[in-house]
Structure 1
Amino acid sequence: MLHIIGMILKIIGIILAVILGILVLLICIVLFVPLKYEIKAKFEGTLDSVNVKFRCSWLLHLLAASFSFEDREFTWKARVVHKVFGSEETVSKAEETLKTDVEEVYKKEPEVKKAKLPKETRIDESAVTIQERRIEAAEDESEEKAGEKTEEKTEKEGFWVRIEGKCKALWNKIKTFFENIKYTFGKICDKIKLLLEKKEIIAAFVEDEVHRLAFARLKKEAFRLLKFLRPKKFMLRTRFGFEDPYHTGQALAVLSVIYPFWGGQLSVEPDFEKRILEGELLINGKIRTVYALIAAWNLFWDKNVRKLYTDVKSMGNKV
Structure 2
Amino acid sequence: MIHIVLLVLKIIGIILASVLGLLIALLLIVLFAPIRYKLKAEYEEAFEASAKITWLLRIISFTAEYGNDSVAASESETSYEETDGSTNFRMRLKIFGRIIFDSSKVKEDSEEKKGLFAGRGKKRRKSKEQAQENKVSVLTAEPASVDSKKVQVEEKSVTNERTETARIAKSEAEAVPGLEEGSNSTTIEQQVKTEIQVKSEVIGELDISKATESSTKAEEPIEKKKGLFHFIRKAGDSIRNFWGKMKAFVSNLKEKIEGLTSNVSKLYSKYQLIRLFFQDDKNKLGFQYGFRSIKGILRHVRPKKVQAYIEFGTGDPCSTGQILGVAAAFMGLYKNSVQIIPDFEEEVIKGNFYCRGRIQTFIFLIIGVKLILNRDIKNLIKNFQTLKEEF
Same fold by TM-score, threshold 0.5 exceeded?
A: yes
Give the residue type in structure 2 aligned to 1:60.
Answer: L
Asked if residue 219 in structure 1 is aligned to residue 234 in structure 2, the reply is: no
TM superposition shift of 1:94: 7.9
Q: Which residue of 2 aligns with 1:75?
A: 90
Does structure 1 retain, via aligned residues, the 8 Å contact 2:52–2:64? yes
CA gap of 1:292–1:258, structure 2 versus 1, over 3 A, is: farther
CA distance in 1, matches of 2:89, 2:102: 11
Does structure 1 retain, via aligned residues, the 8 Å contact 2:324–2:342? no
CA distance in 2, matches of 1:249, 1:56: 38
Asked if residue 208 in structure 1 is aligned to residue 285 in structure 2, the reply is: no
Asked if residue 39 in structure 1 is aligned to residue 39 in structure 2, the reply is: yes
CA gap of 1:208–1:77, structure 2 versus 1, over 3 A, is: same
- 1:218-257 CA-partner distances (Å, limit 9, x unpaired): 12222222222221111233346899x99x989996x789
TM superposition shift of 1:276: 5.8
Q: Which residue of 1 aligns with 2:242?
A: none
Give the 3-state SS of the residue equivalent to 1:260 in structure 2. helix
Asked if residue 55 in structure 1 is aligned to residue 52 in structure 2, the reply is: yes
Paired residues for 1:72-221 under 5 Å: 73-84=88-99, 85-90=101-106, 192-221=264-293
CA gap of 1:82–1:204, structure 2 versus 1, over 3 A, is: same
CA distance in 2, matches of 1:295, 1:20: 26
CA distance in 2, matches of 1:301, 1:4: 49
The equivalent position to 1:231 in structure 2, one of 287, 303, 307, is: 303
Give the residue type in structure 1 aligned to 2:62.
Answer: A
CA distance in 1, matches of 2:389, 2:313: 47
TM superposition shift of 1:97: 10
Asked if residue 66 in structure 1 is aligned to residue 81 in structure 2, the reply is: no
Does structure 2 retain, via aligned residues, the 8 Å contact 1:231–1:284? yes
Q: Percent identity between the aligned chains?
A: 26
In the alignment, structure 2 segments of 5+ residues that lack a partner are 69-86, 117-255
The equivalent position to 2:386 in structure 1, one of 293, 299, 314, is: 314
Give the 3-state SS of the residue equivalent to 2:334 in structure 1. coil
Does structure 2 retain, via aligned residues, the 8 Å contact 1:252–1:270? no
Paired residues for 1:251-290 under 5 Å: 259-268=331-340, 277-290=349-362
CA distance in 2, matches of 1:250, 1:310: 48
CA distance in 1, matches of 2:4, 2:330: 69
Q: Which residue of 1 aligns with 2:371?
A: 299
Q: Which residue of 1 aligns with 2:83?
A: none
CA distance in 1, matches of 2:325, 2:261: 42
Does structure 2 retain, via aligned residues, the 8 Å contact 1:56–1:65? yes
CA gap of 1:303–1:97, structure 2 versus 1, over 3 A, is: closer
Q: Which residue of 2 aligns with 1:119?
A: none
TM superposition shift of 1:58: 0.7
In the alignment, structure 1 segments of 5+ residues that lack a partner are 102-183
Q: Which residue of 1 aligns with 2:145?
A: none
TM superposition shift of 1:260: 3.3
Q: Aligned-residue CA RMSD in angstroms? A: 4.2
Give the residue type in structure 2 aligned to 1:77.
Answer: R
Give the 3-state SS of the residue equivalent to 1:311 in structure 2. helix
CA gap of 1:207–1:297, structure 2 versus 1, over 3 A, is: same
Give the residue type in structure 1 aligned to 2:2.
Answer: L
Larger Rg: 2
Length, aligned pairs only? 232
Q: Which residue of 2 aligns with 1:22?
A: 22
CA distance in 2, matches of 1:212, 1:270: 45
Give the 3-state SS of the residue equivalent to 1:29 in structure 2. helix
CA gap of 1:50–1:197, structure 2 versus 1, over 3 A, is: same
Give the residue type in structure 2 aligned to 1:53.
Answer: S
- 1:148-202 CA-partner distances (Å, limit 9, x unpaired): xxxxxxxxxxxxxxxxxxxxxxxxxxxxxxxxxxxx9999877654543232112
CA distance in 2, matches of 1:265, 1:198: 50
TM superposition shift of 1:81: 2.1
CA distance in 2, matches of 1:270, 1:197: 56
CA distance in 1, matches of 2:269, 2:345: 49
| Higher-helix-fraction structure | 2
What TM-score do you get using the length of structure 2 for normalisation?
Answer: 0.50
TM superposition shift of 1:259: 4.7
Give the 3-state SS of the residue equivalent to 1:261 in structure 2. helix
CA distance in 1, matches of 2:8, 2:324: 71
Give the residue type in structure 2 aligned to 1:23.
Answer: L
Does structure 2 retain, via aligned residues, the 8 Å contact 1:299–1:305? yes
